[in-house]
Structure 1
Amino acid sequence: MDSPLATVGLPAALAIIMFGLGLSLTVADFARVARHPRVVTIALACQLLILPAVAFGLVLLFDLPPLLAVGMMVLAASPGGTTANLFSHLYRGDVALNITLTAVNSVIAVVTLPIVTNFALGYFDPDTGTSMGMQFTKVLQVFAIVLVPVVIGMLVRARRVDFARRMDRPVRIASAGVLVLVIVGTIAAESENVGSYLADVGAITTLFCLASLTVGYWIPKLLGADKRQSIACSMEIGIHNSTLAIAIAISVLGSVDIAIPGAVYGVVMFPAAAIFGWLISRGRGSGAASTLPIPHEAERAAEKH
């Protein structure tokens, strides 16, 4: 779980992908998000309040051993992963909303992640006497991977509009290819341990992933979010930063067992999110093609001049 793919390859690939996402974004996208803070608040409430409660309930239902239970709570409290932006991009979600949520939640996690983790340690494994504080460098890593490449991509779009438009489809195809490589590479790197890990927490992590994706889609949608915003929220809430959860378990808490739920989730969330994204985006067809460009029409007309 501490393979070069997870520690170097995946962040580097995501940074390249985020540059591609930046090519499809403009300042107007973020201005629209700022005009709709209600959706951001709903999504953050789902992430920060509902998901830890769901994870706690599943841990009690499955009666996990203490360290695995703590690992599930660390995972639940981890912010959305940068890969959520990619999935949202693939399924026509509101990527600007994803980036906003990732940035805001990463800052909030400085407080909430230690709170949830310390609660879990005290409840499930009180004899350890361990506590933690969130490493600020991890927050900086998220910002570096998400924001810097996106800003560069947006600058390129602002100066080379035609190039950015031509690259849209190739970037989507390349992004899908990267996802396949990540799934295959992650499984291959952990081939010796995947069986035992899945036996320990495969069922609970899969259920938690599906619950996260479902909560992230339907609660915002039922509370008035549009289709693109709901897809973005689903991916942001369903795709956790499992690498961060693993790093905290091993580097801060000094436990490989606590890292196991994050490692398994990092494997199951990719195919689960891909299938869920396909299901919730089905039937959009020509409607998506005709409506998605509308917010950009005035802006594009201005860009031509």
Structure 2
Amino acid sequence: MLAVDRPLCHDVRMSALTTIGLPVALGIIMFGLGLSLTPADFARVGKHPKAVLVALACQLVLLPALCFGLVVLFRLPPILAVGMVLLAASPGGTTANLYSHLFRGDVALNVTLTAINSIVALFTLPLLTNLAISIFLPESEGLGIQFNKAVEVFLIVLVPVLLGMLVRRLWPRFADRMNTPVRIGSMIILAIVIVGALVANRDLFFPNLGALAGITVLFCALSLTIGFFVPRLFRVEPRQAVASAFEIGIHNATLAIVIAQTVIGSVEMSLPAAIYGVLMFFVALAFGFLIRGRVPVTKDAPAATA
């Protein structure tokens, strides 16, 4: 039995560390993503249309359907069910690029998919989240992502990316030098914020850890599997299938946490993303070693080391 059995709780601790720190950390992460993007990354869709379209279909159609099925199967409380759908609707992040590089994926395709998914999610994420709220929390008036809140998501996600791309356009050498420090800095800030939020709400987080671990691990494993084998069914080459797997299987948990806590205003709704964000690293690593034998080694695809 999960520890969350109420539609919403207003006595959880939403400190400045969470309400300010989380959006700032996400903004820095998205700015770092922009530092690595150029217009050519979007134009690459024309070179690999099948790989991009299949990956997007998995991300936008199969994963939400899978997530809805899992929350019903696991009988999650309504607020956590919505949190799972919010996680499923979140795009991939820069972590997917790292895993793709380690396991011989097409990192350039990862960058393209991340760029496109980040824009598409601005529209699909509110739609899917509101659909989940209407199904699981039909009596919660005012809960959801309305137009003004969707604008907040736009500002948090897209504006930092555009600023990062502008910096790269104007000062490419500076962007190259700052790429790694920005990523490290954002991870440090994010870690501090998340740990602080977990400690402040430990009475809510830890009682639900065991119950949510199963569904988040299964969701991650199935997402990675779908992301790899569905493209292979459509004869997408192995390296692109690896890129698709990690892009689809590694969701931007930080974005889901920020939207749940600061846009919607529910710490409970962020629990699935918080737990997923920790366990995902181990599931993705195990999956990478399982599929590495299916990917041929090429000069520009480094082999993963044990």
Q: TM-score, normalised by structure 2?
A: 0.73
Q: 5, 27, 48: which is aligned to 1:36? A: 48
RMSD: 3.8
Go from structure 1 to structure 2 and tell me whether the alpha carbon gap of 1:10 and 1:127 turns closer, same or farther (over 3 Å shift): closer
1:236 is aligned to: 247
2:145 is aligned to: 132
Residue 215 of structure 1 pairs with residue 230 of structure 2: no
Asked whether the equivalents of residues 73 and 120 of structure 1 are also in contact (C-alpha less than 8 Å), the reply is yes
5+ unaligned residues in a row in structure 1: which ranges? 294-305
Q: 44, 60, 65: which is aligned to 1:53? A: 65
Which runs of structure 2 are paired with 1:1-305 in the superposition (5 Å)?
A: 2=18, 12=28, 33-129=45-141, 130-133=143-146, 135-139=150-154, 141-143=156-158, 190=198, 193=202, 195-282=206-293, 287-288=297-298, 290=299, 292=301
Deviations 1:262-294 (A, max 9, x none): 111111112211221232224757x33x3649x
Higher helix residue share: 1
The size of the alignment, in residue pairs, is 277
Go from structure 1 to structure 2 and tell me whether the alpha carbon gap of 1:26 and 1:86 turns closer, same or farther (over 3 Å shift): farther
Deviations 1:143-180 (A, max 9, x none): 466676578779998x8xxxx9xx9xxx8xx9xx99x9
CA distance in 2, matches of 1:254, 1:155: 37
Deviation, structure 1 residue 188:
5.5
Go from structure 1 to structure 2 and tell me whether the alpha carbon gap of 1:45 and 1:207 turns closer, same or farther (over 3 Å shift): same
Asked whether the equivalents of residues 19 and 261 of structure 2 are also in contact (C-alpha less than 8 Å), the reply is no
CA distance in 1, matches of 2:165, 2:104: 17
Code of the residue aligned with 1:202 in structure 2: it is: A
CA distance in 1, matches of 2:289, 2:137: 39
- Higher relative contact order (CA closer than 8 Å, sequence separation 6+): 2
CA distance in 1, matches of 2:216, 2:288: 18
Go from structure 1 to structure 2 and tell me whether the alpha carbon gap of 1:238 and 1:148 turns closer, same or farther (over 3 Å shift): farther
Deviation, structure 1 residue 15:
5.7
CA distance in 2, matches of 1:18, 1:279: 31
3-state SS of paired residue (1:225) = coil
Go from structure 1 to structure 2 and tell me whether the alpha carbon gap of 1:246 and 1:213 turns closer, same or farther (over 3 Å shift): same
2:11 is aligned to: none
1:299 is aligned to: none
Aligned-residue sequence identity (percent) comes to 44
Asked whether the equivalents of residues 80 and 105 of structure 1 are also in contact (C-alpha less than 8 Å), the reply is yes
Go from structure 1 to structure 2 and tell me whether the alpha carbon gap of 1:188 and 1:118 turns closer, same or farther (over 3 Å shift): closer
Q: TM-score, normalised by structure 1?
A: 0.73
Deviation, structure 1 residue 260:
0.8
CA distance in 2, matches of 1:235, 1:5: 27
Deviation, structure 1 residue 203:
0.7
CA distance in 1, matches of 2:101, 2:21: 22
Go from structure 1 to structure 2 and tell me whether the alpha carbon gap of 1:111 and 1:188 turns closer, same or farther (over 3 Å shift): closer
Go from structure 1 to structure 2 and tell me whether the alpha carbon gap of 1:14 and 1:117 turns closer, same or farther (over 3 Å shift): closer
